[in-house]
Structure 1
Amino acid sequence: MKSSEIIPIQTLHLFPILDTLLIDLLKSLTEEEWNAQTVAKKWKVKDIASHLLDGNLRGLSISRDHYFGENPENINSYQDLVDFLNQLNMTWTNATKRLSPNVLIDLLESTGKEYSDHLQTLNSFENAIFSVAWAGQETSLNWFHIAREYTEKFLHQQQIRDAVGKPALMTKELFNPFIETFVQALPHTYRNTQAPNGTIVCLIATTEIGGQWNIIKKENNWEFIDSIENSPTSTVKINPQDAWLLFSKGMSPIEALEKVEIIGDKDLGCIALNIVAVMA
């Protein structure tokens, strides 16, 4: 890697950590906890474990083995793609209801390592096999695709932990790369928002595990800006617990309005609450 090629969001080293935490978590669950309802309304804990297994298996099949299986037809819009993925997810979780928790754990343990090892072989600055569509990209680099995969593993494990009341993944090491990746959807979220050039919106995930991101209105789009000299037109402050729920559709923007703090232009700030960093 060239010295100038710095990976903006580094997540590869965190996959084994997340996988180990997941296996330890699943091994600790009671039968009742395996059947607990999660914030993903259609899924119990066991369904989410199955979905995580599907992610490993599909990732290996497509990215490593170049085997796509079902090729979607008539995908003419973002919503068509979401509908196709939802159908894939539903058929998988229905089929794996016949698998025991022990079988799921064993498969997750073996495929998690295989998938993590495969991701290590990808050139971070080559084009990924899939774009990160929720960030508005038609082509993405591998480092962003890998970061997106990290958010999938983080989010779904967090949903399980939330459902069974187990300690969360809310550490700076694990949460910060997750929220940093999710917030890449911020400029795309404002793409249809009209404002004078130079308008700045600031999003802050509070506490030491969060961060701050600023976007500025340019002639034809909104872009991230590292530092700002003038006060933002609107600043949105949200705590990490609400952030992971909101940006994954576990909380509605209306519900979030009662929890966030918006300083300055409230209408402009409210648009940030519509970030969706999952295919939904």
Structure 2
Amino acid sequence: MQNTTNQIPLQTLHLFPALDKALIDLLQSLTAEEWQLPTIAKLWTVKDIASHLLDGNLRTISYYRDNYLEAVGNINSYADLVVYLNQLNMSWTNATKRLSPQVLIELLASTAKEYIEQLQKLDPFETATFSVAWAGQEKSANWFHIAREYTEKFIHQQQIREAVGRQAILTKELFYPFIDTFMYALPHTYRNVEAVTGTVIQIKILTDIGGEWNIEKTGSGWELKKNITSTPVAIVNITPEIAWKLFSKGITPEEALKKITINGHEKLGAVALQMISVMA
């Protein structure tokens, strides 16, 4: 596994400790009132999100370390999967409302290391047990599954920070791998969009913590490309502050459209605003 590290398209595993430390430091600084503040994550409070993050740690350890997975009912579509996950999340957050913030912090801190150790044991190029469905994949490699896990931890911590008004984790080190992972959903977002072969659309996340991502229409569909030779027919310019909310359903495409700019073919560019890189 160590010999293939440099070949992994998305390297996120090394970032988990820094993200976890930032979370624990943040939670330890919150007042009792801040724990109960509403968040951009619809019906969840700050405490609910912290509880959800703990659920992620515990379920990962249970599955990979103990080979334990609760039986799942019939899931025959993406919509079925979303319903199942929403029910799973709701039952957990409801049950853990009786836990104190301090207990949540202690459990998050004590499970973080074991959680990371389980991910480190995965062969990055083997097929993951759980595919990244929001990217339109029925099968995913473990490196993409791990990157998806990173985005989960990033987005939920960012939601807490937004709610309590603390400095964001929008840094080049932590944000770029997050948004880079999210962009893998672009081809799936454009899957039903007709265009001439060779058409290129560029998504530009502004400032020095962002970057440029391109999708090109080929004979077999839309493909994500970092480097292109053709001039994009549309360039969608989005700030990091808008991007993380938009692509996680924190704001609607209509709201985002008022705060971003599209150069060139506006209709083709606006399709990118429909991208959802979370299970929702």
Q: TM-score per shorter chain, which class?
A: over 0.9
* Residue 156 (structure 1) aligns with: 156
Aligned counterparts of 1:196 and 1:161: Cα–Cα separation in 2: 42
Query: Cα distance, 1:227 vs. partner?
Result: 2.1
What amino acid does structure 2 have at the position aligned with 1:187? P
Q: Report Cα offsets for 1:88-138 as digits up to 9, x if no partner.
A: 000000000000001000000011111011111111111111000000111
For 1:40, what is the secondary structure of its paired residue? coil
For 1:267, what is the secondary structure of its paired residue? helix
Is 1:253 equivalent to 2:240 in the alignment?
Answer: no
Mapped contact 1:63–1:129 kept (Cα < 8 A): no
With 222-231 and 150-159 compared, the bigger mean Cα shift is at 222-231
**TM-score under structure 1 normalisation?**
0.97
Query: Cα distance, 1:212 vs. partner?
Result: 0.5
* Residue 24 (structure 2) aligns with: 23
* Residue 274 (structure 1) aligns with: 274
Query: Cα distance, 1:72 vs. partner?
Result: 2.2
For 1:50, what is the secondary structure of its paired residue? helix
Please report the RMSD computed on the Cα atoms of aligned residues, expressed in angstroms: 1.2
* Residue 95 (structure 1) aligns with: 95
**TM-score under structure 2 normalisation?**
0.97
* Residue 66 (structure 2) aligns with: 65
Q: Give the length in aligned residue pairs.
A: 279
Over 3 Å counting, the alpha-carbon distance change for 1:3 and 1:250 in structure 2 is closer
Mapped contact 1:217–1:223 kept (Cα < 8 A): yes
Query: Cα distance, 1:154 vs. partner?
Result: 0.5
For 1:131, what is the secondary structure of its paired residue? coil
* Residue 77 (structure 1) aligns with: 77
Aligned counterparts of 2:147 and 2:206: Cα–Cα separation in 1: 21
Mapped contact 2:212–2:226 kept (Cα < 8 A): no
In the alignment, structure 1 segments of 5+ residues that lack a partner are none
* Residue 221 (structure 2) aligns with: 221
For 1:58, what is the secondary structure of its paired residue? helix
In the alignment, structure 2 segments of 5+ residues that lack a partner are none
For 1:188, what is the secondary structure of its paired residue? helix
Over 3 Å counting, the alpha-carbon distance change for 1:89 and 1:242 in structure 2 is same
Aligned counterparts of 1:3 and 1:41: Cα–Cα separation in 2: 40
Query: Cα distance, 1:65 vs. partner?
Result: 2.0
Aligned counterparts of 1:219 and 1:159: Cα–Cα separation in 2: 39
Is 1:143 equivalent to 2:143 in the alignment?
Answer: yes
For 1:214, what is the secondary structure of its paired residue? strand
Aligned counterparts of 1:279 and 1:3: Cα–Cα separation in 2: 29
With 112-121 and 245-254 compared, the bigger mean Cα shift is at 112-121
Q: Report Cα offsets for 1:19-44 as digits up to 9, x if no partner.
A: 11111111110000000110011100
For 2:277, what is the secondary structure of its paired residue? coil
Aligned counterparts of 1:198 and 1:135: Cα–Cα separation in 2: 22
Over 3 Å counting, the alpha-carbon distance change for 1:18 and 1:5 in structure 2 is closer
Aligned counterparts of 2:228 and 2:123: Cα–Cα separation in 1: 33
Aligned counterparts of 1:3 and 1:167: Cα–Cα separation in 2: 35
Is 1:36 equivalent to 2:31 in the alignment?
Answer: no
For 2:7, what is the secondary structure of its paired residue? coil
* Residue 105 (structure 2) aligns with: 105
* Residue 195 (structure 1) aligns with: 195
For 2:202, what is the secondary structure of its paired residue? strand
Aligned counterparts of 1:66 and 1:262: Cα–Cα separation in 2: 48
* Residue 51 (structure 1) aligns with: 52
Query: Cα distance, 1:164 vs. partner?
Result: 0.2
Is 1:207 equivalent to 2:194 in the alignment?
Answer: no
Query: Cα distance, 1:61 vs. partner?
Result: 1.2
For 1:60, what is the secondary structure of its paired residue? helix
Query: Cα distance, 1:3 vs. partner?
Result: 5.6
Query: Cα distance, 1:5 vs. partner?
Result: 6.3
Query: Cα distance, 1:229 vs. partner?
Result: 2.2
